[in-house]
Structure 1
């Protein structure tokens, strides 16, 4: 997991403190394109690598206080397609297949009413990189 941003530390899951790297030109251009397409501003991006179908992340909501109240979160998928599931809290999941180059936007309020995951799979998949663009309301977590 890597973090790029504007001088703002990020505390992930109340246990992992990430210090940001400087924005690279390609990431800054991608951020600006996503902002233009969605109307939402993003100060940080987190990069995660899923090496195989056994790399996953379970049901969760992104509720870190550093993102502010009801943030919009934008996610770009690169590489192998993977299933992404989103469900209302206590409800049934909806499956989305995130293909290479796809943009998924979770709108303000989604992190309060829904949870999401990338489940494990026994299907053969190659590496997937996920870039998650997020707001950040302060200089620290």
Structure 2
């Protein structure tokens, strides 16, 4: 179902994608990949991460192509998907960084016993867990 590609003909593009037209998908990828990577790079400040976000978005578009809505602009969908996935990656990276800092602080300085006191019966709770686990197996 390949046809002369016109980026402004959203309805024909989406309908072609829904039928599995690989040529149309290649044309959409060629038209939008570079601008989407640039947009993701401005958010992430990392070209490799931006590349991966854009690849993930195009993979999701292809896998879920039957659910695309021809009434909504594909360009807007791609921009929103790249935006959301970039922010999600930043959030994930920030959480991972905080866990790493916390783990490093525990390794190098232990916990501040005045601020973080373990439960008084934690050895008993742990032994109880081990006993229950031993009975299971």
- Is the TM value for this pair above 0.5? no
Greater percentage in strand: 1
Determine which structure has greater relative contact order: mean sequence separation of CA pairs < 8 Å that are 6+ residues apart, divided by chain length.
Answer: 1
Q: TM-score, normalised by structure 1?
A: 0.23
Structure with max Cα Rg: 2
Greater percentage in helix: 2
